[in-house]
Structure 1
Amino acid sequence: MATSDVEPGSSQRLDKDTQETLVTVARHAVLLGWSVVVLFPLYWLASMSLKPPGQANSLPPDWVFLPTVYNYIQLAQNGEFVAAFANSVVMVGASVVLVLLIGVPAAYVLSRYDIPMERDVLVWILSSRMLPPIAVVIPFFVIFQQLNLFDTRIGMVLMYVSINLSLVVWVMKAFFDGIPETLEEAARVDGATQFQGFMKVVLPAAKPGIFSVAIISFIFAWIELLFGLVLTSFNAVPVTLFVYSFIGSRSIEWSMLAAASTAMIVPVVVFLIAVNKYLAAGLSFGVVIKE
């Protein structure tokens, strides 16, 4: 009599493997569908920027069309757009560097030293983000006029720093709180000074937090519109204000608006790609969290 080669319980294991496979497929299908939903507006924006002016807002939309770079050529030939784009790159880049130079050491001091009324200081720093921008833009306008900072790149850099400083301080303080002080104590035992311990031990461990707040600060400053609308007129106009100019009182230049908006997204994507490499390296370095 022939014996069966099927081991006991193999059918149960097969059913379990099948269930796990189905769950994995379903999970990937959901993630793929969600990715399509999230990325579709970007596709729509990019496709509009590649359509001729008369075809950009046609209804029903033309799904199949001959792409053209006419809108981008028009932007590149527009001196005002080039100047506004350069303004944003310089001002936002400078503000990110400056806010990190101020915010990271400030967060470290608040994390490591006993500051009188530390909680009140943190709440005061956070309070700068509590009011809506429309409530503070007029006082800033008056101050900028008095200090001759109106329509200057320096003034806009300081404005961007004021917008993002509280975020950097709060996030980095929480990050420094999670780095054990024993790492710095070990460095001081080896002969390092307080500053050397901060530069060579704490900052490398805090790389993920630093690059994270740099990304967020860059994005918040890059997309800001209201302060640029009130605090600039010609010399320091940001690119967001130029993009807004395509929305007229009677009509909207959809193709140019889409092209300018797509061009605005490119620096953000490039910055994310460039920083992601260092962010991944920082994450692989690892951070020991206090228990």
Structure 2
Amino acid sequence: MATQDAQSATSSQRLDKETREKLVTVVRHTVLLGWSFVVLFPLYWLVSMSLKPPGQANSLPPDWIFLPTVYNYIQLAQQSDFLAAFANSVVMVAASVVLVLLIGVPAAYVLSRYDIPMQRDVLVWILSSRMLPPIAVVIPFFVIFRALNLFDTRIGMVLMYVSINLSLVVWVMKAFFDGIPETLEEAARVDGATQFQGFRKVVLPAAKPGIFSVAIISFIFAWIELLFGLVLTSFEAVPVTLFVYSFIGSRSIEWSMLAAASTAMIIPVVVFLVAVNKYLAAGLSFGVVIKE
């Protein structure tokens, strides 16, 4: 009798544990679904607004059921200024990401592996470039760009994007390089590799997740930047963010065209994230060796 009671109690405890686990799983999934709805609803609102006719885009109450149209996108594609600004942003942002990686990754490696005089001060000086608000430095940059004939040039905007993201790349990549044991490079040098070969064939593959992470962040920060494009360009090197901003007038806002241009602006970011995510996932699957 006592054995049966013990078995019943054990079964009841097991059932209660399984019930609690299922309840926790249901609650967790419900919370995640609710949060996903909150995060994705603005994107849905933007895309749906871009697919509505101009007179229906900002109607109140909103029309939840409507006949989608690509009229706004056709009008957008027929504007040569938008196509030129879009091409400017693609070229300038892509070039800035490549350049900031070429400068920032080796710099982070040197700061991680070598004892540089006043190294802490150098790191703080690099980080200080991100501490100032953009509005505080845009006027000095304007004066410098006019003096160097870089105003309204793609090269000038590329250099500006590099200056924005360089501190981020250096600090993040230094943390990754700090986590990679120097014994791996020593083993490569024992096998006959030079120091540069050890950096290229051993350290860089191990730091691949960090490289793609900072590439993604640098691309997004440069792609959405507006203030410097507003002050440092006028016609030739206008970025797409400035063209999107042009739909906001002093007396009215072209909501449908603004939504269409904003949606088109999101597409390159999504494409870049999807393309890089494959390599990022591959790098994470190999893992990064962390110092003990």
Q: Name the TM-score, length of structure 2 as normaliser.
A: 0.97
Superposition map of 1:73-112 within 5 A: 73-112=74-113
Alpha-carbon distance in 2 for matches of 1:147, 1:82: 28
Alpha-carbon distance in 2 for matches of 1:218, 1:82: 19
Partner deviation per Cα, 1:214-245 (whole Å, 9 max, x = no partner): 00000000000000000000000000000000
Partner deviation per Cα, 1:65-93 (whole Å, 9 max, x = no partner): 00000000111111000000000000000
Alpha-carbon distance in 2 for matches of 1:48, 1:185: 58
Alpha-carbon distance in 1 for matches of 2:4, 2:104: 72
Alpha-carbon distance in 2 for matches of 1:20, 1:274: 37
Alpha-carbon distance in 2 for matches of 1:177, 1:133: 30
Alpha-carbon distance in 1 for matches of 2:129, 2:288: 30
Alpha-carbon distance in 1 for matches of 2:268, 2:162: 19
1:289, CA displacement in angstroms? 1.0
Superposition map of 1:258-277 within 5 A: 258-277=259-278
Q: Which runs of 4+ in 1 moved over 2 A?
A: 1-7
Taking a change above 3 Å as real, the CA distance of residues 141 and 3 of structure 1, as seen in their structure-2 partners, is: closer
Partner deviation per Cα, 1:94-118 (whole Å, 9 max, x = no partner): 0000000000000000000010000
Alpha-carbon distance in 1 for matches of 2:2, 2:181: 67
1:3, CA displacement in angstroms? 11
Alpha-carbon distance in 1 for matches of 2:199, 2:286: 16
Taking a change above 3 Å as real, the CA distance of residues 3 and 155 of structure 1, as seen in their structure-2 partners, is: closer
1:249, CA displacement in angstroms? 0.3
Taking a change above 3 Å as real, the CA distance of residues 119 and 15 of structure 1, as seen in their structure-2 partners, is: same
1:127, CA displacement in angstroms? 1.0
1:255, CA displacement in angstroms? 0.2
Q: Secondary structure at the match of 1:3?
A: helix
Alpha-carbon distance in 2 for matches of 1:167, 1:194: 25
Alpha-carbon distance in 2 for matches of 1:26, 1:147: 60
1:15, CA displacement in angstroms? 1.5
The more displaced of 40-49 and 10-19 is: 10-19
Taking a change above 3 Å as real, the CA distance of residues 25 and 145 of structure 1, as seen in their structure-2 partners, is: same
Taking a change above 3 Å as real, the CA distance of residues 133 and 3 of structure 1, as seen in their structure-2 partners, is: closer
Q: Secondary structure at the match of 1:60?
A: coil
- Paired position in structure 1 for 2:17: 16
1:158, CA displacement in angstroms? 0.3
Alpha-carbon distance in 1 for matches of 2:87, 2:135: 26
Superposition map of 1:1-291 within 5 A: 7=7, 10-291=11-292
1:6, CA displacement in angstroms? 10
Give the total of aligned pairs.
289
Alpha-carbon distance in 1 for matches of 2:28, 2:110: 44
Alpha-carbon distance in 2 for matches of 1:92, 1:39: 26
Q: Secondary structure at the match of 2:3?
A: coil
Q: Note the residue ranges of structure 1 that are not aligned, 5 or more in a row.
A: none
Partner deviation per Cα, 1:147-175 (whole Å, 9 max, x = no partner): 11110000000000000000000110011
Taking a change above 3 Å as real, the CA distance of residues 4 and 69 of structure 1, as seen in their structure-2 partners, is: same
Q: Note the residue ranges of structure 2 that are not aligned, 5 or more in a row.
A: none
1:11, CA displacement in angstroms? 2.2
Alpha-carbon distance in 1 for matches of 2:83, 2:212: 28
Alpha-carbon distance in 1 for matches of 2:2, 2:83: 83
1:288, CA displacement in angstroms? 1.3
- Root mean square deviation of aligned Cα: 1.7
1:4, CA displacement in angstroms? 7.6
Alpha-carbon distance in 2 for matches of 1:165, 1:151: 21
1:130, CA displacement in angstroms? 1.1
Q: Name the TM-score, length of structure 1 as normaliser.
A: 0.97
1:2, CA displacement in angstroms? 16
Alpha-carbon distance in 1 for matches of 2:84, 2:248: 19
Partner deviation per Cα, 1:16-60 (whole Å, 9 max, x = no partner): 111101101110110000000000000000000000000000000
